[in-house]
Amino acid sequence: MSEILRVENLKVHFPVHSGVLMRQSGAVKAVDGVSLGIAPGETLGLVGESGCGKSTLGKAIVRLLKPTSGRIVFEGSDITTAGVGAMRPIRRDLQMIFQDPVESLNARHSVREILEEPFIIHGGTTPAQRRTMVNELLDRVGLPAASADRYPFEFSGGQRQRIGIARAIALKPRMVICDEPVSALDVSVQSQVLNLLLELQREMGLSYLFIAHDLAVVKHISDRVAVMYLGKIVELASSDAIYQRPKHAYTKALLSAIPHPDPTREITRELLEGDVPSPIDPPKGSAFGHRIGHPRYDETIGKELPLVEIEPGHWVAADPCCLEPDDWEKVAAEGVRDCPTGAAG
């Protein structure tokens, strides 16, 4: 598969300091060895509960955060250690939108100033050309031209997200990291914004890494889905496989937490109990096995639980606590393809 983005064994650890001398006493392992690949025009959904490291991963990919180790390759260029100058041309092609557009849009700037900024930074346009481009962008995201002279606070949440999207697509990028862009919106507005993102993808051939905390939101828009738990990807497969044949206990728990539209249908909800453990001092073995008190947890202590390809294109952590016994036998047997970089693409 040709890839527009490749992430290899990426780690983002935040140092923790304590004591009077504020010496480093540990690290928050927010992203702890993530590998994935995204194809041109593809949407990869990234799901997991709050605190699993999804935003940190997204921000590291666009280099808003510095990776601790690993590699990020975008359109064939290694951008892992790219500085501000080297990132400038990359940013034309690699953009990010956020959950709260108010935070990411400068509230003191008019919509016109917000949307003109990328063109000014990258140069080569006249004021008249920028005026036309702003009008075209507003039209493209479904906002009237008169919006240009208003300020972000004058818009509803859904409209503000449209402004955030207009800004992200201004320079005709090839990939957009979408960090929970609809999580703060009402359900009806959510689907309008998701439809806009899908239309833009079709027109512009965009690739998306689409971050969400529940599987319901990413279901209709993702080609493949990666499930993240405590800094690591535990399952990665096509959307159909994730929803119809999930293998990992954590994916199953996330799926069972999706409310079903038919309340008369009997469902057993394996509710996610407790909170995601702290990434400062994560369990020494299977992190989810520890949370659910699995009897085989001790066997996993100190072991690598790599992603293995259990079915073509379906990757899951080789974790005896989180697989059905027959799947575990298949994984434990020789011949299941281990993924040395965990690239799972």
Ligand X SMILES: Nc1ncnc2c1ncn2[C@@H]1O[C@H](COP(=O)(O)OP(=O)(O)OP(=O)(O)O)[C@@H](O)[C@H]1O
CB 143 to ligand X: min, Å = 27
Residue 52 as a binder of ligand X (CB under 6 A): the answer is: yes
CB 212 to ligand X: min, Å = 9
Stretch that binds ligand X, among 48-56, 186-194, 289-297, 313-321 (CB under 6 A): 48-56
Residue 34 as a binder of ligand X (CB under 6 A): the answer is: no
Residue 182 as a binder of ligand X (CB under 6 A): the answer is: no
The Cα 143–Cα 192 span in angstroms is 13
Exposure on the CB side of residue 52, measured as CA atoms within 13 A? 23
Residue 50 as a binder of ligand X (CB under 6 A): the answer is: yes
Contacts to ligand X from residues 119-138, by CB under 6 A: none
CA angle 219, 222, 223 (to 5 degrees): 125
CB 342 to ligand X: min, Å = 18
Question: How many CB atoms sit inside 10 A of residue 250's CB?
Answer: 26
Instruction: Name the E strands within 140-242.
Output: 175-179, 207-212, 224-229, 232-238
* Residues in a beta bridge with 29: 13
Minimum CB distance to ligand X smaller for 54 or for 294: 54
Stretch that binds ligand X, among 50-58, 235-243, 291-299, 308-316 (CB under 6 A): 50-58
**H or E stretch including 6?**
strand 5-18
Residue 53 as a binder of ligand X (CB under 6 A): the answer is: yes
Which residue from 104, 114, 160 is spatially nearest to 134, judged by alpha carbons?
A: 114
Residue 30 as a binder of ligand X (CB under 6 A): the answer is: yes
Stretch that binds ligand X, among 47-55, 85-93, 219-227, 335-343 (CB under 6 A): 47-55
Minimum CB distance to ligand X smaller for 56 or for 159: 56
The Cα 301–Cα 336 span in angstroms is 22
Residue 33 as a binder of ligand X (CB under 6 A): the answer is: no
Sequence-ordered list of residues with C-beta below 8 angstroms from that of 192, at least 6 positions apart, any chain: 158
Which amino acid, 68? T
Question: How many CB atoms sit inside 10 A of residue 236's CB?
Answer: 31
The Cα 12–Cα 294 span in angstroms is 28
CB 24 to ligand X: min, Å = 12
- Rounded to 5 degrees, φ, ψ at 309 are -90, 100
Among 13, 54, 162, 224, binds ligand X (CB under 6 A): 54
Stretch that binds ligand X, among 53-61, 102-110, 134-142, 195-203 (CB under 6 A): 53-61
Among 279, 320, 342, 345, binds ligand X (CB under 6 A): 279
Among 35, 55, 222, 286, binds ligand X (CB under 6 A): 55
Residues written for the chain: 345
Among 11, 14, 125, 252, binds ligand X (CB under 6 A): 14
Among 5, 28, 79, 94, binds ligand X (CB under 6 A): 28
Query: In the β-sheet with 77-78, what is the strand arrangement from edge to edge?
Result: 23-38, 5-18, 69-74, 77-78
- Name the residues that contact ligand X, by CB under 6 A: 14, 28, 30, 48, 50-56, 213, 279
